[in-house]
Amino acid sequence: MKINYGVFLIILLLLGCNHKTEVPYARTAENINHDWSYLEYDSQDINAAKEQVNWSGINLPHTWNNEDVTDSESGYRRAVSWYKKDIVLNEILQNVHYSLYFEGSNITTTVFVNGNEAGHHIGGYIGFEIDITPHVKAGNNEIFVKVDSGYNPDIIPSQKSDFFIYGGITRDVWLKKRPKTSLGKIQVSTPNVSKELASLQVVVPIVSEEVLIGHDVEVVLRNVAGEVVTSKTNKLDGSDTTITITDIIDPMLWDIDAPNLYTVDVYLKKGEDVLDKVSDKVGFRWFEFVENGPFFLNGRRVLLRGTHRHEEHAGVGAAMSNELHRKDMEMIKEMGANFVRLAHYPQDPEIYKACDELGLLVWDELPWCRGGVGEAVWQTNTKNMLREMIHQNYNHPSVIIWSLGNEMYWLPDFEGGDDTDKMNTFLSELNTIAHELDPSRKTAIRKYYEGADIVDVFSPSIWSGWYSGSYKSYQKALDTYKPKYKSFLHAEYGGSSHVGRHTENPITGEGVINSDGWEEAIVQTKVANIAQIGDWSENYMVDLFDWHLRITETDSTFVGNAQWAFKDFGTPLRPENDIPYMNQKGLVDRAGKPKDSYYVFKSYWAKEPFAYIESHTWTERQGPRDLARTINVFSNCKEVTLFHNGKSLGAKTKDITKFPASGLTWDINFSEGSNELIAKAKHDNGTMVADTLTVNYRFTKNEGAKGLTLSAKKLSNGNYLVTAVAIDANGLRCLDYEDKVYFQTLEGGQSLRNQGTPTGSEIIGMANGKASIELKPDNTQNGIKVMVLNQNFKGTYLTINK
C-alpha cells in the first residue's frame, strides 16, 4: 500500500488544530451573598427540609436572632435553620477545584451539594472552606446549608457567657475556583525587623495530586506604591517550600500612625508559564512587652490606648455588612485608639483588614469564655478553633496577641470543670500550640489568676468605681499589679450609662452621693457597688473615664488598657437593664451614636481638633437661683474659651493633670429659661473649632410624677419620633423620673422595636423624665395611634395624622 505522506501530514495538522493546549486556570472568588432562601425549621433531615414550602428569600449575611434577642420575651432561638441557593456552572473544568468559603456560620454547619453532604464545620467565628468539586455538575447545582445554633456544651463559647450567640450564616460566602495544581494559603512572617533592615519569610504550601519536581515558586515584594522591592525564586523538590528574603533595606515600617502595607505576590511556575498566583499584605514591625514595664512598637514606647468590640449592630445583630464593620473601626480610630481587643471571639475578616489599614493593634481571642474545661470532645474542638484562628489571621501585622480565654473558670459546664489542675494543664497545652504555630506573638488571658504565669500577658479584673471601690482607687490598683505580673495589660474597665440620663450630683470619685443643691443641709450617702446602686448617668461615666485616662496618660511605665466596651451590645444576662437585654457600657449606643464618654476619650487621644460641651443630651436642667453649675468642655485643643449668652467667661489652658476635663471647666449661674453656651477652641496647629449648646434652665424643682404626655416629630426619613415625658401636677417635666415606660403602636404604622437603642425599644427606662421611640407609618390612610403606659400611669394616647 502506497502512503500519501502529504495527505497524512495534513491530517496530523488538522488533528493538532483541534487539540487545545491546556491553559492554566486563573483562580477566582465570587461573592454569592444574594438570592438565598431561608427556612426556619428545626430538623436535622435534609429531605424533610426539602419538602417544606414556607421558604423565604434573604440575602447574606443573615441571622435569625437579629431581633428576638432584644424583644420582650425571655430567651432566644437556639435551633436548626436551613439555607438554600442554586448555583449555575456553565461547564465543569477537569483541572479546576471548586469550593464554598464561609467567613462565619454559627455554630455548626453542614453543606449539601446536589443532595450529597460535602462537608461540615464546628464553630461559629472562624472561616472555613468546603470542597464541592466531587459534587458539582454543569448546569444548575442545588446548595443546601444546615446551620445549628442549638446548645452544645462541647463547643465554645459557653452558654453562660455575657453575650448572645447569634445563629445563622452571619458573614459573607464565596464561590471559589482555583487550579487543582495550585498554591495553598501562604504564611507570611517578618523574622527580623529594624529601621535599617528587614527580612521576609513566606511559607508556601503546594496543593497537587502529584509531587511537583522542576516547578518554581517566585515571591515578589512590592512597596506601598506597588513598585517591586525585591524578588526570589525557589525550585520545588517536594510539596512545600519556604522562601526567605533577608536584604530589605530601609523598610517602610507598619506603625499605628503610618500603617504601611507591602504586597507579597507568590507565583507557581512551570518554565515561563504561570500556573497560579496568590497575594497578601505584610507589615514590617516589631514589638516588645518590657518585663514589669511599658510596651514598645518599632523601638519607641507606645501606650496602648484601647477599647473592646463585640460584633453586632442594631437591627441586624451579628449579620453586619462590611460597611458597618468598617465604620466601627473607623470610629474607634477617630476616637484616637491604637489598640482593640476583639471580644470574645475571632471576628469578621473585614475587621482585621481595617485594623491593618488604619493602624490598630489587635488582641485576638479564642472564644473560651466561661464554662470551665471540658472533656475530650470539648478539648479537641477548642484546640482546633485555636489552630484555625491562628492559621486564618496569621498574616495580619495588626495582631500582636493571641488570647486563650476570658473568665474561663467561671460557671463550669462540666463536673470538675473549674478544677485548677485540669484548667492549668489544658491552658498550658493551648499556650504550647499557640507558640508552636506562631513564636512571634504573645499569648494572654483575662481574669484567671491561677493561670497568669502560664501565658505571656495577663489582665486581672479591675472595675474601679463600678463593681467595687471608687474610681479614684485606680492608681492604687495599677501600682499593685504592675510589679506582680511581668506583662500586665488591663483589659476591661468602665460602667453603664443610659443615654440622656444626667444628674446634678453624680457619685464622686470617693463613691459618695452629695446633695443636689436643693437641701439646706449637706446630705451624703456612701455607695459600695455603683453598678447596683448608681443611677447610670452619663455624667458619672464621664467622670470615671476622665479619671482613668488622667492616670494612664501620665504613667510612663504602664503598658495600657482597653475600655469595656466600644458599643452597647446584647446579652441574655441583663433583662432588667434600662434597655432590656442590653449591656449599656458602650461609648456609643448599639446603632453607633456617640455618648458623652466618647468625647472624653477623644479629648485625650484624637488628633483631629474638636470641642464638646457636656452635654448635648442634657438640655433641660433645674436648680436653685444663684447656685452655680460647673460646665465641662472636652477638647484636644490647647486653649478653650467659653461664652455664656454672648459673654466670654475667659480662656483656659488644657492640662491633663487636672480633673475634671483637664481643667476646662467653668462655673456658671444659669439664667432662667434659654441659655446659649459656645466653646471656641484653638489647636496647637492654629485650627479653630467651636461647639454650641442651648440649655433650658428653671429655678423650680419638679414634684413627683403625676402623668405621661406624648408628642411626635416627623423625621427626615419620613418616620416619626414619638416622645413620652413624665410631668408633675404643675406640668413640669420630672427630671428625676427613671421608671420604665412601655410604648405600643395600635394602628397606622409600626415601631422600630427590638433595636436595643434609645429610640428603638418599646420597653425603656426614662432618662430625666423622657423616653422616645421611632415609628414607621404604613401605607394606609389611617392616622398613627400610639400609647405609652407603665405601672403607675395606665395609658396616654396620641394620634398622628399622616
Helix or strand run (H / E) with residue 117: strand 116-122
Let me know how many helices (H) and strands (E) the chain has, helices first.
Answer: 10, 50
Contacts of 269 (CB under 8 A, 6+ apart): 215, 216, 217, 218, 275
103, 311, 350, 407: which is the annotated catalytic residue?
407
Say whether 407 is catalytic: yes
**Cα separation, 793 vs 739, whole angstroms:** 11
The amino acid at residue 579 is I
Q: Positive or negative CA dihedral for 568, 573, 577, 579?
A: positive
Contacts of 351 (CB under 8 A, 6+ apart): 309, 311, 325, 328, 329, 342
Burial track 504-543 (b if 16+ CB lie within 10 A, e otherwise):
bbbbbbebebeebeeeeeeeeeebeebeeebbbbbbbbbb
CA-to-CA dists, residue 307 to 24, 401, 561, 564, 603, angstroms = 47, 15, 8, 6, 15
Among 367, 447, 368, residue whose Cα is nearest residue 407: 447
Q: Positive or negative CA dihedral for 574, 580, 581, 585?
A: negative
Kindly state the cell numbers that stand for 292: 514589669
Q: What is the DSSP letter of 64?
A: T
**797 strand-pairing partners:** 787
Collapse the DSSP code of 477 into the 3-class scheme (helix H, G, I; strand E, B; otherwise coil) and give the result: helix
For the chain, the residue count is 802
Contacts of 96 (CB under 8 A, 6+ apart): 25, 133, 177, 178, 179, 180
**Cα separation, 248 vs 263, whole angstroms:** 13
Helix or strand run (H / E) with residue 600: helix 596-605
CA-to-CA dists, residue 315 to 65, 70, 74, 347, 497, angstroms = 10, 10, 18, 19, 21
Among 298, 288, 303, residue whose Cα is nearest residue 254: 298
**Cα separation, 592 vs 70, whole angstroms:** 17
390 in Cβ contact with 402 (< 8 Å): yes
269 in Cβ contact with 216 (< 8 Å): yes
Burial of 209 (0-12, 13-18, 19+ CB in 10 A): exposed
Biggest alpha carbon–alpha carbon distance for the chain? 130
Position of cell 515561563? 272
Among 435, 404, 438, 452, residue whose Cα is nearest residue 190: 438
Distance of CA 203 to the CA centre of its chain: 30
**Cα separation, 733 vs 66, whole angstroms:** 35
145 in Cβ contact with 65 (< 8 Å): no
Contacts of 501 (CB under 8 A, 6+ apart): 535, 536, 537, 538, 578, 738, 765, 767, 768
566 in Cβ contact with 587 (< 8 Å): yes
Active site residues: 407
